[in-house]
Amino acid sequence: MSNTELQGLIQRAVGVLAQLEAWLPPAPPAIDWSAHAYRWQRRGARGWLDAVHRIAPIQLDDLQHVEQQKSTLERNTLAFLQGKPANNVLMTGARGTGKSSLVRALLGTYASQGLRLIEIDKSDLGDLDQIIDLIVDRPERYIVFCDDLSFEEGEAGYKALKSALDGSVAAPGDNLLIYATSNRRHLMPEYMHENLQAQHQPDGEIHPGETVEEKISLSERFGLWLSFYPFAQTDYLDIVNHWLAFHGCRPEDIQASRPEALQWALSRGSRSGRVARQFARDWAARHL
């Protein structure tokens, strides 16, 4: 092969490599370990921790009428920060009752003591091993948080989460816990035809009871279950009053808002903390 031909082959190879490089996703950015919160981001086959520096402000005292749940979650988180045994937590129940807000409030309270938060979407739960590898040698204590967790048949993140919670031969490290919220206690759908008395299944399943046990077992791998319930009318009005006072409303104005607050809840079909806060914003904006 002549020198000219060799140079031509090299140039063609360089061109091919340049084209391949253009198709590849960029290298993940360096992790900013000074942040208190992160989102797990994915592009192609690569994932990274994206620092979040502006965190929605909320305090533990802002969350009312969930005292038992708040106390249990705070106790578990403090044990985790102190290097004591602590459990992964599943929070289930009525929407808008403060499940995800509790986790954010804990971060705001205990970030100065080394608490950190990593938000992950359920579709990325298969990357838990990568997250564990990134933080295993860090001195901070990390809560991996998945909001509105539930699975449909065949979703890949289901088995990855089961292994991370309890069942993998690899230990996740003592600086990581998993907190999750869900509107349903059993994270996989169950069907009438799967009940234990079924004698025959159209798909040929001989032991339908074992299928049900498999679906329930994911929830059971969370050491703590915290249930949240719809608020009574008086509780809802207490929360409205708290947020109106937060926005600077006078006591007499807060008292005058009561009929509108009840009508607002009726129109929304819910007396939740979220609905109460939304009403307080709207009412304060109109009357202050």
Q: 13 falls in which pLDDT band (50, 70, 90)?
A: confident
Vertex 283: Cα angle to 282 and 285 (nearest 5)? 65
> Which string of b and e fits 60-70 if b means at least 16 CB within 10 Å?
bebbbbbeebb
Exposed / middle / buried, residue 73 (Cβ in 10 Å: 0-12, 13-18, 19+): buried
pLDDT at 247 over 80: yes
Model confidence, pTM = 0.78
Residue partners of 158: CB distance under 8 A and separation at least 6: 125, 151, 187, 188, 218
Backbone φ and ψ for 170, nearest 5 degrees, come out as -90, 125
Phi-psi region for residue 111, left (φ > 0), alpha (ψ -120 to 50) or beta?
alpha
What pLDDT, in 10s, does the model give residues 129-169? 889 889 999 999 999 999 888 766 556 666 667 777 765 44
pLDDT at 217 over 70: no
